[in-house]
Amino acid sequence: MDQKVNYFEVGVNAPIDGPLTYVWSNDIIPTGSSVEVPLGRRKVPGIVLNSTDTNVSSFELKNISALIEEKPVLSPKFIKWCQWVSQYYFYPIGMVLNLAFPPLKKKSNRKTKYQVIPDTEETIAPNLTDEQKNTLAEIKKHDGFNTHLVHGVTGSGKTEVYLNLIADCLKKNKSAIVLVPEISLTPQLLNRFSARFKDKVAIIHSQLTAREKTNQWWAAFSDEKPILIGARSALFCPIKDIGLIIIDEEHEPSFKQEEKLKYHARDAAIVLAKIHDCPIVLGSATPSLESYNQAKSGKYIYHQMNKRVHQDVMPETFVVDLKKERETREIENTNHDDLPFWLSQKLYDQIGKSLNANKQSALFLNRRGVAQIVMCPDCGFVYECPNCEISLTLHRKKDLTCHYCDYSQVLKDRCPSCQSIEIKPLGIGTEKVESDIKKLFPNATVARVDRDKVSNRHQLEEIITGMENKSIDILIGTQMIAKGLDFQHLQTVGLVLADVAFNLPNFRSNERSFQLITQVSGRAGRNKNDPGVVIIQAYNTDHPSITHALNNDFASFAKEELQMRNSVEFPPASRLALIRFSSSQLDQLETSTTQLKNFCDTYLSRSESKVAVRILGPSQAPLYKLKNVYRHQMLILSPDHQSIHHFCKYLVQNKKKIFSTRVKVLVDIDPVSMM
């Protein structure tokens, strides 16, 4: 009797668009199993997607090499979600599925160096405000899958709503996923969750060691710990019975991955919730206009929380016009030499008041280093990165660094071009702010939080602890401190240069500026006895991002911004894809760009196409040269996603005809960064 042969579709961990078919003559392999298969001259891991006893191939198939039993079988729901991710974001299915597993094998006697989950004292749930009660009741009204947008001002108690929803989820013996945009939020959130739910919390993010991540992954996957908190990658932990998903600070751009698989964790989580037929809650004081628009159209269920938990009063906010500040200093000709150009008298005085009252201050500037440009005023020479078409940032006193490729060189005393000794730094960064503040307030304890200063989670945890126990007087930082951190003794918040992001080449720059200003301002006055003070310094004080944030008026800002987006048919009025193509060979890139233009013209002229897409470009990317690679890009807009996908799929299918082999092509669906 002939042995029965079975055929299996396998998603292989390789840059191959679809699954490959293999043969296995032993027992049936369950869907979701891990296998090893031959691919060319090597063997690669893969996941069984389905099986059949019929050979649909016209050529001889290879055998599955081995069944990898140490890896758990993935559930049909998780595989369905991964297939959606693969198709929607144009990324190979096997490479998506490969993200499901932890970095190491399960068993290990090796102990981790640090305690991942803090051993906190268990707390009792506080009494809820009326707004919290109403929001909870409204969310619980709806069974099964629904997307809820909780729009609550900073300090309104959204986290307490999350905790109550999770408690209900656990009573139903289901798991909950809580996504936060960055690890900067996780220490405080983790303390709060572990205090409420003790040993039921697991965490996954990029700052864990491989062993820590593996242990946390198994704790979540095995239902030992039914609450999983993490950054966007936690979404790929294949939890079987999800009953609730929460996306905190849903507006944050860091939910979008910019490398390799260019997925948006918020949008992918909504699809995961739909597959599991469970609610998903998006929370923010400044919702993304995409989510807000969906709520206003009725596709999401909208919940609003307008009051802070401990008081009705928001921080007192002042705007300082830095142009007028400079003019006043020049006219009065008074002795302001002790104040640096970036610091207004108002902010300086307020920091002093907070120090005298034993209160804390935080200064926000979304720029690292000492200065963004070092320039010779005599000949115009600017220090630039030889690998990237951008200026070098000055760090410390002599270190010039590229923030994109890490190239560095030493600043010389004379201009390399004309030998002038007048070469000087221009602009301002967090390092310069720190240096100046230490000189102005020598008795204060100053800490800085940016990518240069804080490189791991333990350094971040130390600074958060320092803010909580008041051993830090003044905190200086980039957007790492702009997120949902809660410091009870923080009285003064200063936005050093609020208009840094106003003119970035991105249609979302106004929205992002409004969000940052509102979020940073919301860190002040978390103590019920002290509403706090916010001072916004800017050169363009009439900018709508400032005027609406000053009045804490999200609705007016959103209305104005949505009208502008609608007029130019940009998201959320339309859907968007970005095609980026790059090469180290400029001539190859330019030839491919010409061929791409011809391809687009032909595509749009086809009468049978009937596809409503608008194409902008191709043209040079704003960051035209990075790491010795030249970059061009093109935007695809359409009222419906199907038209976007049709075009992108057709482009990918024909990319060998359009692009040189030396040109790399990336498709970014729903892009966040345009750089």
- pLDDT at site 333: 61
- pLDDT at site 269: 98
In a domain, 122, yes or no: no
Does the global pTM surpass 0.85? yes
- pLDDT at site 182: 76
Same domain? For 290 and 191 the reply is yes
In a domain, 337, yes or no: yes
Same domain? For 184 and 57 the reply is no
Same domain? For 624 and 542 the reply is no
Q: How far apart are CA 440 and CA 318, in angstroms?
A: 22
DSSP 3-state of 502 = coil
**Three-state SS sequence of 68-133:** ECCCCCCCHHHHHHHHHHHHHHCCCHHHHHHHHCCCCCCCCCCCCCCCCCCCCCCCCCCCCCHHHH
Closest CA to 428 of 464, 476, 380, 360: 476
Same domain? For 485 and 345 the reply is yes
Question: Considering 520, 542, 565, which residue would you say is the last residue of a domain?
Answer: 565
Same domain? For 277 and 135 the reply is yes
How many domains in the chain? Answer: 5
Q: For position 628, which CATH number holds?
A: 3.30.70.600
In a domain, 114, yes or no: no
Same domain? For 267 and 351 the reply is no
**HSE-up of 556 (CA within 13 Å, CB side)?**
10
**Three-state SS sequence of 592-630:** HHHHHHHHHHHHHHCCCCCCCCEEEEEEEEEEEEECCEE
**HSE-up of 241 (CA within 13 Å, CB side)?**
11
Q: How far apart are CA 576 and CA 250, in angstroms?
A: 19
Question: Considering 410, 426, 442, which residue would you say is the last residue of a domain?
Answer: 426
Same domain? For 148 and 224 the reply is yes
- pLDDT at site 113: 63
Same domain? For 415 and 348 the reply is no
In a domain, 280, yes or no: yes
Same domain? For 268 and 320 the reply is no
pLDDT 10s digits, 180-234: 987 655 677 888 898 999 889 999 988 888 999 999 999 999 999 999 999 999 9
Q: Which residues form the domain of 139?
A: 130-305
Same domain? For 441 and 473 the reply is yes
- pLDDT at site 57: 66
Pairing status of strand 360-364 against strand 474-477: parallel
Distances (CA, A) of 49 to 52, 64, 204, 238, 239: 11, 13, 26, 15, 18
Closest CA to 523 of 471, 467, 439: 467
Task: Report, as ranges of residue numbers, the positions in the chain whose pLDDT lies below 70.
Answer: 1-5, 55-58, 108-114, 183-186, 311-313, 332-337, 482-485, 503, 525-528, 607-611
Pairing status of strand 227-230 against strand 301-305: unpaired
In a domain, 43, yes or no: yes
Same domain? For 164 and 239 the reply is yes
In a domain, 118, yes or no: no
Same domain? For 217 and 264 the reply is yes
Q: For position 78, which CATH number holds?
A: 3.40.1440.60
In a domain, 111, yes or no: no
Taking the CB of residue 406, how many other CB atoms lie within 10 A of it? 10
Q: For position 361, which CATH number holds?
A: 3.40.50.300
In a domain, 110, yes or no: no
Question: Considering 285, 305, 325, which residue would you say is the last residue of a domain?
Answer: 305
Task: Enter the tokens of residue 430.
Answer: 């967090």
